[in-house]
């Protein structure tokens, strides 16, 4: 199941979305999902914790991590692993790829239709390709000075 980002969402809509994915809509899960689905950005667990606790100060780090695990398991969100120390959570589960700006640390969507792969390798016997996730790591051109402005990147999917 893919989830389209609909913003801003009301608490009742978020609770319904959680139930649709087989997740019991506790108050804390609604808060966490609310942050993920109300922002068109990719968040790390720590950033998510900071945002949730700026509105609702009783969510522990463990609760955030456990909720993210559950959301991933139920395919409510997807995980984008730039490297083991940079993991982002994405409310957009439709097929798409990412630019990772190594200068600003920002992750930006690349629409699936805007990326074509040639020369797909032969898969091992008995295997099928489940998904392909491409991360294009970008940095400012030498001498360009400063991080790339988000406005110069392609629009989100």
Q: Which is nearer to Zn ion, 40 or 144 (CB)?
A: 40
Nearer to Zn ion, 90 or 106 (CB): 90
Distance CA 84, CA 102 (A): 15
Annotate 47-100 with DSSP letters as a single string: HHHHHHHHH-TT--HHHHHHHHHHHHHTTSSEEEEEETTEEEEES--SSEEEEE
**Rounded least distance, CB 90 to Zn ion, Å:** 4
Q: Does 106 bind Zn ion (CB under 5 A)?
A: no
Question: For residue 119, what is the DSSP state?
Answer: S
Q: Does 109 bind Zn ion (CB under 5 A)?
A: yes
CB of 99 to Zn ion, least distance (A): 10
CA count, 13 A, side-chain hemisphere, 25: 15
Q: Does the footprint of Zn ion cover residue 90 (CB under 5 A)? A: yes
Annotate each residue in 17-56 with x if it binds Zn ion (CB under 5 A) or - if it does not, as one string.
Answer: ----------------------------------------
Task: Report the interface residues with Zn ion, using CB under 5 A.
Answer: 90, 92, 109
């Amino acid at each position: 199941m893919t989830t389209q980002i609909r913003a801003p969402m009301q608490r009742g809509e978020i609770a319904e979305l959680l139930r649709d994915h087989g997740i019991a809509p506790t108050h804390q899960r609604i808060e966490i999902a609310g942050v993920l689905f109300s922002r068109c950005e990719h968040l790390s667990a720590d950033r998510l914790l900071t945002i949730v606790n700026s509105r609702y100060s009783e969510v522990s780090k463990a609760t955030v991590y456990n909720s993210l695990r559950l959301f991933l398991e139920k395919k409510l969100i997807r995980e984008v692993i730039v490297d083991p120390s940079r993991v982002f959570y994405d409310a957009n589960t439709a097929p798409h790829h990412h630019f990772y700006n190594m200068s600003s640390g920002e992750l930006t969507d690349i629409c699936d239709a805007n990326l074509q792969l040639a020369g797909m390798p032969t898969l091992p016997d008995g295997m099928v390709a489940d998904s392909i996730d491409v991360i294009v790591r970008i940095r400012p051109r030498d001498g360009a000075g400063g991080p790339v402005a988000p406005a110069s990147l392609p629009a989100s999917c």
